[in-house]
């Protein structure tokens, strides 16, 4: 995209109150993710040495923390500069003042968080427990891991996935393409989730080695993986029901929902089956091309779903695997 197009988008965002509010919301989500990551680092025993910063005064800590904050928030700062440049040409001074006051508030809140966090005694052991569910069942272990260790991964993947899928639905509702367009959209959305399923494989193979010595029934593993994948795909499934549910084609809706879940199960099974990350990427490219041909030639979604389940079923066939 050229700079002229970026400036046009920035002007539209400043002219539209909803667009400007969306920008502030995205900045807030980004700042929250950064704060959670900073708290995670401060709770890690390996970074105990940095807690000497707790002896600094407010002004000293702010001076040392400012370069770090600028580096971590460079993305939203650069886009704020772009909005500022575009705002001067359309006389959007009021919104620009709100924007920079908002960024200043984010910086001060981050500084307050770190300042008071460092002033507290550093415990020898950090126990992470959920507030709602004291005894967390296995089906939510991976989701809790993502929330605690990979919040940016969830945020980026879900934003890209919903944005892309919504674009496919927008073109489809205009009547220019048939159902194969949505199937291709689900295929693209599945590959956006590729880093998440890589993380799931690493989580289960490295942090759950204990379970490799326990014989687990095939049906139990199938149910656990299915629940995790469906829960993570709930935003996409909700968008599918909202956009396509009004067509009164329940068989088509069911086929598309099964296709979306099966594609993600197949990609995860391929990663788990291949084990090596490099080989997984190479195999994923080939699978994408083959599935794209199936979609182009009008293979029924249920048949594609059945084919996608093959690598997943092969990956979990052993009793001594998670």
CA distance 208 to 225: 14
Q: Do 36 and 151 touch, CB atoms closer than 8 A?
A: yes
- The separation between CA 67 and the C-alpha centre of its own chain, rounded to angstroms, equals 27
pLDDT, tens digit (0-9, with 9 covering 90-100), for 133-170:
456 677 778 888 888 888 889 899 999 999 999 888 88
Given 69, 84, 119, the domain boundary residue is 119
Same domain, 255 and 300: yes
Looking at every residue in the chain, the average pLDDT score rounds to 81
Asked if 236 and 290 sit in the same domain, the reply is yes
User: Residue length, the chain?
Assistant: 322
Tell me: do 251 and 185 sit in the same domain.
yes
What is the phi-psi region of residue 248: left when phi exceeds 0, alpha when psi lies from -120 to 50, beta otherwise? left
Closest CA to 14 of 27, 3, 25, 23: 23
Residues 271, 284: Cα–Cα separation, whole Å = 8
Q: Is residue 127 part of a domain?
A: no
Q: How far is CA 91 from CA 13, 17, 88, 171, in A?
A: 13, 15, 5, 34
Q: Is 322 among the domain residues?
A: no
Same domain for 251 and 166: yes
Q: Are residues 143 and 107 in the same domain?
A: no
Q: Is residue 130 part of a domain?
A: no
Write out pLDDT tens, residues 76-134.
888 888 888 888 878 888 888 888 899 899 888 888 887 777 776 655 444 555 554 45
Domain-located, residue 133: no
Q: What pLDDT is stored for residue 188 in this prediction?
A: 92
Q: Are residues 20 and 113 located together in one domain of the fold?
A: yes
Same domain, 144 and 81: no
How many structural domains is the chain composed of? 2
Does 205 map to a domain? yes
Residues 217-259: tens digit of each pLDDT: 888 888 888 999 999 999 999 999 888 876 657 788 889 999 9
> Which single residue is written with the structure tokens 């969830």?
154
Q: State how far the Cα of 211 lies from the Cα of 204, in Å rounded to an integer.
A: 9
Specify whether 171 is located in the same domain as 216: yes
Rounded CA separation 134/114 (Å): 27
CB < 8 Å & 24+ apart, contacts of 76-80: 76/27, 76/30, 76/31, 76/103, 77/103, 79/23
Sign of the dihedral through C-alpha 77, 80, 86, 88: negative
Q: Is residue 124 part of a domain?
A: no
Calpha distance 47→256 (Å, rounded)? 47
**For residue range 294-318, what is the model confidence (pLDDT) as tens digits?**
998 889 899 999 999 998 988 888 7
Residue 133: its pLDDT value, please? Answer: 46
Residues 197 and 286 in one domain: yes
CA distances from 38 to 3, 199, 282 (A): 33, 20, 35
| Per-residue confidence (pLDDT) for residue 190, from 0 to 100 | 92
Do 62 and 148 share a domain, yes or no?
A: no
In the listed set 119, 149, 166, which residue is the last one of a domain according to the structure? 119
In this predicted structure, what is the pLDDT of residue 66?
Answer: 84
Confidence grade of residue 212 (pLDDT, cut at 50, 70, 90): low
pTM of the full structure:
0.59
Cα dist. 200→164, 195, 212, 268 in Å? 23, 9, 15, 8
Q: Are residues 42 and 151 in the same domain?
A: no
In a domain, 129, yes or no: no
Same domain assignment for residues 84 and 225? no
Query: Considering 85, 119, 153, which residue would you say is the last residue of a domain?
Result: 119
* 158 belongs to a structural domain: yes
Give the domain extent around 209.
138-315
């Amino acid at each position: 995209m050229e700079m002229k197009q970026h400036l046009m988008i920035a002007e539209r965002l400043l002219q539209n109150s909803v667009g400007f509010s969306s920008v502030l919301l995205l900045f807030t989500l980004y700042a929250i993710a950064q704060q959670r990551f900073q708290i995670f680092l401060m709770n890690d025993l390996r970074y105990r040495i940095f807690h000497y910063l707790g002896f600094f005064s407010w002004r000293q800590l702010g001076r040392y923390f400012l370069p770090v904050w600028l580096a971590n928030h460079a993305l939203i700062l650069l886009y704020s500069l772009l909005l500022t440049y575009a705002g001067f040409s359309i006389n959007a001074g009021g919104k620009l003042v709100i924007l920079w006051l908002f960024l200043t508030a984010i910086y001060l809140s981050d500084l307050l968080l770190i300042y008071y966090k460092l002033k507290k005694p550093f415990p020898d052991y950090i126990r992470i427990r959920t507030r709602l569910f004291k005894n967390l069942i296995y089906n939510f272990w991976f989701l809790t891991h993502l929330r605690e260790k990979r919040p940016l991964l969830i945020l980026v993947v879900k934003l890209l996935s919903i944005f892309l899928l919504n674009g496919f639905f927008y073109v489809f509702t205009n009547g220019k393409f048939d159902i194969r367009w949505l199937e291709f959209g689900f295929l693209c959305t599945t590959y956006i989730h590729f880093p998440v399923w890589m993380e799931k494989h690493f989580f289960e193979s490295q942090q759950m080695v204990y379970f490799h010595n326990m014989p687990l029934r095939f049906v139990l593993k199938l149910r656990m993986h299915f629940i995790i994948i469906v829960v993570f795909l709930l935003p996409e499934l909700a968008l599918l029901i909202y956009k396509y549910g009004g067509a009164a084609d329940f068989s088509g809706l069911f086929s598309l929902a099964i296709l979306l879940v099966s594609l993600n199960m197949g990609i995860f099974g391929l990663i788990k089956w291949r084990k090596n990350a490099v080989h997984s990427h190479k195999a994923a490219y080939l699978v994408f091309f083959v599935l794209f041909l199936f979609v182009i030639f009008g293979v029924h979604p249920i048949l594609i779903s059945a084919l996608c389940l093959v690598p997943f079923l092969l990956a979990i066939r052993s009793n001594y695997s998670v």
